[in-house]
Amino acid sequence: MEPTTPTQPQSATAATRVRYGMLALVFVNVVINYLDRSNISVAGASIGKDLDLSSVELGLIFSAFGWTYALLQIPGGLIADRFGPRPLYAFCLVTWSLSTVLQGFVRGFSGLFALRLATGAFEAPSYPINNRIVTSWFPQQERASAIAMYVSGQFIGLAFLTPVLATIQYHFGWQGLFVVTGAVGLVWGVVWYLLYRDPLGHRGVNQAELDHIESGGGLYRDRQPGVPSAWSLANLRIVFSSRTLWGVYIGQFAVNATLWFFLTWFPTYLVQYRGLDFIKSGYLASVPFLAACAGLLLSGFVSDYQVKRGKSVGRARKLPIIIGLLLSVSIVGANYTNQTALIIFFMSLSFFGAGMALISWIFVSILSPKHLIGLTGGVFNFMGNLASIVVPIAIGYLARGGDFRPALLFIATLGLIGAASYTFLVGKIEGIK
């Protein structure tokens, strides 16, 4: 439905702020998204014991989500370009949540592996949809902050809810953990469908807000006739042939390498390799997530502030990411101490850096052709989430002898590679034609 045009002169009409309400809905989506992809990390040690899994088999279970999630990013991005966020996100929420509930009833490796594959498949379009929503609702000068706000959902939610998840598992077992987290998503899928609208379909938005969004480069209008479909080899060639985009892709793989260590192996590392009890590890595991959230929000707001002060987009967007990737290397410091406080410090500093680097989604809206935002986001997330496949499996092999130090060195090395990629491959920041 078209919003009502204000009868007052535009200069006398204050812009509504409906976009922040829509951002809040996306924030909740992200919290639930990450609960259902990371609950396996809280349950990992118990699942490994109950199902008699080796570290290699547990690594495969941890990686299963990433197989389908990464491989379906490009189709997910194309689907995000083709269908509206409201029905598509509702479908994804309900289906991935149902897959999560069913994980509470598995009795072996194969069933759990298959359901983790299904969860990854149904979550695949989520971040391309997030990017489309923010690109539609927010002008360029507010976009890094908006991205930081919704991405922070993955850290805020896990920071405060990891102890809750550990408590649920303590009382109801890992099976109950999957049922509870999945049920939350089923309910929220209905709430999302009832509440979300695109800018031109929202009754509460006024023309002043639409003008504010559009004047800053927000892309809320429908695609115009004659714009080529995203479904073409020519368009795939565009998003795979840019050196700048390849630099961003490699950097995103490095950022996600640190992220996926924390989403999969971190609680198991604390319990099995550092000897902490399960409940205590649940509380300590929340600290790095708070640090990552702080890094993300700091990076997003500082980056937008620099743009508003007239700094170049390249400097404002790239510098926090490079600094963050360099800080993520500090994870290797945990190899050189046995003190729990220092272990958590190095882990938190590393994740703080990774959080800073996660404003990298801003480059999708900056660099991609306007009609290929979903496709570019899909490729970007595909390349980055190859880490969700590689890293859990690699850690399982590197730690199979009972020594976790090579695994942390592996993560730190990828952080250095990511920083080098942004420094030497990502050149001048300008849109790709």
3-class DSSP state of 52 = coil
**Cα 48 from Cα 90, distance rounded (Å):** 33
295 contact partners, CB below 8 Å, separation of at least 6 = 324, 327, 351, 352, 353, 354, 355, 356
Tokens of 71: 């491989």
Quickly count: other Cβ atoms within 10 Å of residue 212's Cβ.
Answer: 18
Instruction: Supply the pTM of this predicted model.
Output: 0.75
User: Coil, strand or helix: which one is 225?
Assistant: coil
**For the chain, percent of residues with pLDDT exceeding 70:** 88
3-class DSSP assignment, residue 346? helix
Q: Is the pLDDT of residue 277 over 80?
A: no
Amino acid of residue 278: F
Say yes or no to pLDDT of 388 above 50: yes
| Per-residue confidence (pLDDT) for residue 22, from 0 to 100 | 92
Q: What is the pLDDT of residues 51-85, one digit of tens each?
A: 888 888 888 888 899 899 988 877 877 777 777 88
- Is the confidence at residue 3, as pLDDT, over 50? no
The mean predicted confidence, pLDDT, of the chain is 84
DSSP state of 16: P
Domains of the chain plus CATH, in order, are 17-218+233-424 (1.20.1250.20)
Residue 221 in this model has a pLDDT that exceeds 80: no
Q: Of the ranges 278-282, 308-312, 318-322, 351-355, which is most confident? A: 351-355
Cα torsion 164, 26, 180, 286 to 10°: value is -20
pLDDT value at residue 374: 66
Of residues 282 and 105, more confidently modeled = 105
Q: Virtual CA dihedral for 133, 136, 141, 147, nearest 10 degrees? A: 10
Query: pLDDT digits over 315-332, tens only?
Result: 777 888 999 999 999 999
111-124 burial: b if 16+ Cβ within 10 Å, else e: ebbebbbbbbbbbb
Q: What is the mean pLDDT of residues 116-135?
A: 89
Mean pLDDT of 356-380: 76
Give pLDDT, residue 433. 57
